[in-house]
Structure 1
Amino acid sequence: MPKNEMLTQIEGIIIYRNFVENLPYNPLLKTLTKEKRKLGILSEVLFWKQVRNRTFHNIDFDRQRIIGNYIVDFYVKTLGLVVEIDGTSHDFKQEYDLERAKFLESLGLKIFKISDWDVKQNLSVAMKDLENFIVENYS
């Protein structure tokens, strides 16, 4: 997949593919990803309803994607974009989150973080912030 190929447009601005190849994958996490999907954390479900089936600018999102020894909330293969919804469980895991972010960024991935509260209380604003992040990083 060529890097400079157009993926979509957001408000007339061309968004280019940034497919990151050969991502590491730990198959031992597969069962855990299925369990996490079934848990149905409210903010993740609300966000998923906004993006599944290419309903967000025709962009394909994966949910609970394994990258290395980590499971990310959402992943966009065609952009090399990780979307993380941070709830209160992240309040005491700053060091872990930092290591994780360093690892993901070392692979050439970009990370968009959104708070659990914003997804539940300001979903339209959160989606606009995601649009802006994509325009800033992939146009």
Structure 2
Amino acid sequence: MTNEKKLFLPQPIPTPLLEAARVLRRTMTDAEQLLWHCLRRKQLGGFRFRRQHPIERFVLDFYCYEARLAVELDGGQHNYTDIKVRDAERSALLAYHGIRVIRFWNNEVLSTTEGVLQRIYDALNE
């Protein structure tokens, strides 16, 4: 067994995906703004989150690299069958890369913020 360290070479993020993430950061929903206010600056258990973080061909609403946890907020459009299928495919691809995904409805974040934060905290500490 050798003590060689693998050199990490990050993959460049495609420009359109990077720009999409930037636009999403500027146009966050009320629920995203509220949750970001609670997650930023390591406020939840000392874990650092990134908002609108590009991975593969997706932009994750919130992502904690340390815990390999993605937090996705969904609006009513996620009730449609085609979007449910796309969300499942996305979650499966992220799981393949070792990233867990937890989802909340926007109205859930707005009405029961403390409960949502507790569930995120629990997932971070699993």
Partner AA of 1:91 in structure 2: N
Per-residue CA distance 1:3-57 (angstroms, 9 max, x = gap): xxxxxxxxxxxxxxxxxx9688444301111111111210000000001011111
Q: 1:22 to 1:103 in 2, by over 3 A?
A: farther
Structure with greater Cα Rg:
2
The RMSD of aligned alpha carbons is 1.8
Q: How many residues align?
A: 116
Do residues 44 (structure 1) and 35 (structure 2) align?
A: no
Partner AA of 1:101 in structure 2: S
Partner AA of 1:133 in structure 2: A
Do residues 82 (structure 1) and 70 (structure 2) align?
A: yes
Counterparts of 1:104-119 in structure 2 under 5 Å? Answer: 104-119=94-109
* TM-score with structure 1 setting the length: 0.77
Partner AA of 2:108 in structure 1: D
**Structure richer in strand, relative to its length:** 1
Query: Which segments of 5 or more consecutive residues in structure 2 lack a partner in the other structure?
Result: 1-8
Partner AA of 2:101 in structure 1: I
* TM-score with structure 2 setting the length: 0.84
- Which structure's relative contact order is higher, taking Cα pairs within 8 Å and 6+ residues apart? 1
CA distance, structure 2, for counterparts of residue 74 and residue 111 of structure 1: 10
Query: Which segments of 5 or more consecutive residues in structure 1 lack a partner in the other structure?
Result: 1-20
Residue aligning to 2:84: 94
